[in-house]
Homo-oligomer: A and B are copies of this chain.
Amino acid sequence: MEKIRVAIVGWGNVGRFCKKALESSPDMQLVGIVRRPESIGKDTSELAGLQVVSDIETLDKVDVALVSIPSREAPDKVKELILKGIATVDSFDVHDQILATKQALNPLAISHKTVSIFGAGWDPGTDSAIRAILKVISPIGQTTTTFGGTTGGRSMGHTAAVKAIPGVKDAVSLTLPNGAGRHKRQVYIELEPGADFEKITDQIRQDPYFIHDATDVVAVENVKRFDTMNHGGRLERLTPDIQQTYTIEGINPLMTANVMVASARAAYRAKELGQYGAFTFIERPIIDFLPGEFEEKLEGY
């Protein structure tokens, strides 16, 4: 069987874990890494033996690109790849822009005969699929999603949003459960010399990522000691006749990367079937995300 040829676009935490996830996927082959021109030549020891380029078209035949760059930059990069006819997967995490993203990417993917699976991390992504299944079993009710696992967790999307603010040298944004599906955000920042702490704090609190939640911002000498890779969530749908809960906890970029790599498989399959378009995780059959032959996919059904 021919392997699915995958490129990783962006070399942050998620990109690094995508490489690991690909290594344990016998149906996939990592063709190369795409980075910004100014990053070429960096991280040489961990990238040893890999082709690292700034233009994806210099790589030999890429079936699917795993776009592992900050969420807000992802849709533009995805558009650029779709125009080249390359299938894409990303873990775009801005929940209230999912529909708009679908509307922007779908006609483009159709006209360029390719497939994009977007918003495909663990939340949105697999959690969204589980939320849909909870509804299938118990149609009338309310699902509560609480992030932060048992002890709070590091949100990659929120962290990246803070890091993008001028004057912020480094940052960590932790998500803490605050009851009834609400959250607190605990943001640790290292400031550039001369940066205005009050102004940056206001900017963080006004950011769409933070505007709905109680947000504490703390300036520290070094954010590293507040850092963690762990995150998690708890979904609950509790109705008088049916009670369901789902909990997930673990290494955040690993969980994201595993879902993205599985989505590359589903994107490849959709393209093979000529089912072009931009899809959320719940628009593709779950079986297409699993490796192996049909019989193996049904194992444990």
Number of copies: 2
Within 8 A of B (CB), among A98-136: 98-99, 102, 119, 122, 124, 126, 128-133, 135-136
Q: Indicate if the CB atoms of A137 and B122 lie closer than 8 Å.
A: yes
- Which residues of B lie under 8 Å from residue A289 when comparing CB positions? 132, 136
0/1 interface trace, chain A 241-271, chain B, CB 8 Å (1 if under) = 1111111111100110011001000000000
Smallest beta-carbon distance A94→chain B, Å: 11
Smallest beta-carbon distance A107→chain B, Å: 14
- Which residues of B lie under 8 Å from residue A254 when comparing CB positions? 241-242
Q: Indicate if the CB atoms of A132 and B290 lie closer than 8 Å.
A: yes
Q: Indicate if the CB atoms of A250 and B255 lie closer than 8 Å.
A: no
| Complex Cα–Cα for A24 and B135 (A) | 13
Max chain B CB contacts within 10 Å: which of A137, A244, A262, A287? A137
A88 in contact (CB, < 8 A): no
Max chain B CB contacts within 10 Å: which of A136, A143, A245, A259? A136
Q: Indicate if the CB atoms of B246 and A245 lie closer than 8 Å.
A: yes
| Complex Cα–Cα for A198 and B235 (A) | 47
| Complex Cα–Cα for A262 and B262 (A) | 25
Partner-binding segment picked from A75-83, A155-163, A220-228, A277-285: A277-285
Q: Indicate if the CB atoms of A241 and B251 lie closer than 8 Å.
A: yes
A138 in contact (CB, < 8 A): yes
Q: Which residue of B lies closest to A249 (CB)?
A: B243
Partner-binding segment picked from A62-70, A199-207, A293-301: A293-301
A286 in contact (CB, < 8 A): yes
Contact A258/B24 with A133-B286, A301-B124, A301-B128 known, Cβ cut-off 8 Å: no
A25 in contact (CB, < 8 A): yes
Q: Indicate if the CB atoms of A242 and B251 lie closer than 8 Å.
A: yes
Q: Which residue of B lies closest to A142 (CB)?
A: B300
| Complex Cα–Cα for A181 and B297 (A) | 20
13 contacts between A and B (CB under 8 A): A21-B139, A126-B133, A129-B129, A136-B286, A136-B289, A137-B255, A137-B259, A242-B250, A280-B287, A280-B298, A282-B286, A283-B285, A283-B287
Which A residues form the contact surface with B (CB < 8 A)? Answer: 21, 24-25, 95, 98-99, 102, 119, 122, 124, 126, 128-133, 135-140, 143, 239, 241-251, 254-255, 258-259, 262, 280, 282-287, 289-291, 295, 297-298, 300-301
